[in-house]
Structure 1
Amino acid sequence: MKGTGVLDAIPDAPRERLMALGHEVSFLAGTRIFEEGRRADRFWVIRTGAVNLDIHVPGRRAAVVETLGTGRMLGWSWLCPPHQWHLGAETIGPVQAWEFDAAEVLELCSRDPELDHALLTYVIGVIGRRLRAARTRLLDLYGPYGSGSAG
């Protein structure tokens, strides 16, 4: 089954092996899927709906740094020590997703270099985009007017 986002980044055969490890989950609107600083031991690929990623801002409400939709990977912190979420995540409305256990995926990656390479390449891109999004959002909140607007 060809998808979008992360699933498009993985060739057919390794994608099938990865999908064999996933299971379908659903979240109600307003569900906190994970909290910044807590243990990261899984990730999701969003099938339907949308999830806000937010960052804790002392003395303020959490700042949304990015909104993820269909096909996007939710969570990369499971891949990088110390395996703690770098952001929080909350559903905007109902969400359906495939959930993957990090230990199982890492074990599969150790035996499947094609999957390992495709997944790591995708996650590196995700980390870069999320870092830029967080920086832009924090500049919007705290920087001089318009600091975060320019690319």
Structure 2
Amino acid sequence: MPDPKVVLVRHPFFAGIDPSISETLAECAHEVSFPAGRFLAREGEPASGFLLLECGTVALELHRPGRMPIVLETLHEGELVGTSWVIPPYRWSCDVRALDPVRAIVVDARCLRGKSESDPKLGYELLKRFLPLFVQRLEAVRLQLLDVYGETPT
């Protein structure tokens, strides 16, 4: 298994990060893998961290009883899965399903929140990296809603 610190440093989400911060992140990280079809997270479950995809593809889905789920976004190698760990109540806002075998580094939220509270530099660096991701994901949902609820030609 690769060293989480090495994966963190070369992952696009943390490109150019201060080495001391990558050391701290690595203290909260470990590698995980999931087979195709497995749910990595379910809507409403505690969001205990985020994942840095090393390989594989996941779908962010909204469950609809009696209907097929809505795929909000598909994420691939080099992307980050999970922002719900940042803001209380720390619950997943959608389902996350592996579309093919996934290998990732998971960063434990409780560990990282604790370290961020005691190190404002770390907290600010994470804020600068996660806020654009929040905006990007919100825009993806907005575009998906436009597609789902768009007008039909007459």
Q: 1:6 aligns with which of 13, 17, 39?
A: 13
Aligned to 2:99: 92
1:59 Cα deviation (Å)?
4.6
Say whether the 8 Å CA contact 1:50–1:69 is kept in structure 2. Answer: yes
Cα shift at 1:56: 2.7
Counterpart residue type for residue 139 of structure 1: L
Shift of 1:111: 2.2
Q: Contact conserved, 2:11 with 2:52, CA < 8 A, in 1?
A: no
**Cα distance, 1:10 vs structure 2:** 2.9
Secondary structure (helix, strand or coil) at the match of 1:61 reads strand
> Which residue of structure 2 lines up, in the alignment, with residue 104 of structure 1?
111
Amino acid at match of 1:88: D
Other-structure match for 1:149 = none
Q: Distance in 2 between matches of 1:139 and 1:9?
A: 35
Alignment of 1:1-151 (within 5 A): 1=6, 2-8=9-15, 10-57=17-64, 59-145=66-152
1:33 is displaced (CA, Å) by 0.7
For 2:116, give the aligned amino acid: C
- Return the TM-score normalized by structure 1: 0.87
Give TM-score, length-normalised by structure 2.
Answer: 0.85
What is the CA deviation profile of residues 12-51 of structure 1, one whole-angstrom value per residue up to 9, with x for unaligned ones? 2201220122111110011101111222122111111111
Task: Identify unmatched segments of 5+ residues in structure 2.
Answer: 1-5
**8 Å Cα contact 1:5/1:73 also seen in 2:** no
Gap change, CA 1:122 and 1:145, over 3 Å in 2: farther
Match for 1:23: what amino acid? H
3-state SS of paired residue (2:10): coil
Moved more, 113-122 or 127-136: 113-122
**Is contact 1:46-1:74 (8 Å) kept?**
yes
The ranges of structure 1 where at least 4 consecutive aligned residues each deviate by more than 4 angstroms after the TM superposition are: none
Following superposition, the deviation at residue 139 of structure 1 comes to 1.6
The root-mean-square deviation of aligned C-alpha atoms, in Å, is 1.8
In the alignment, is the contact (CA less than 8 A) between 1:31 and 1:90 conserved in 2? yes
- Segments of 5+ residues of structure 1 without an aligned counterpart are 147-151
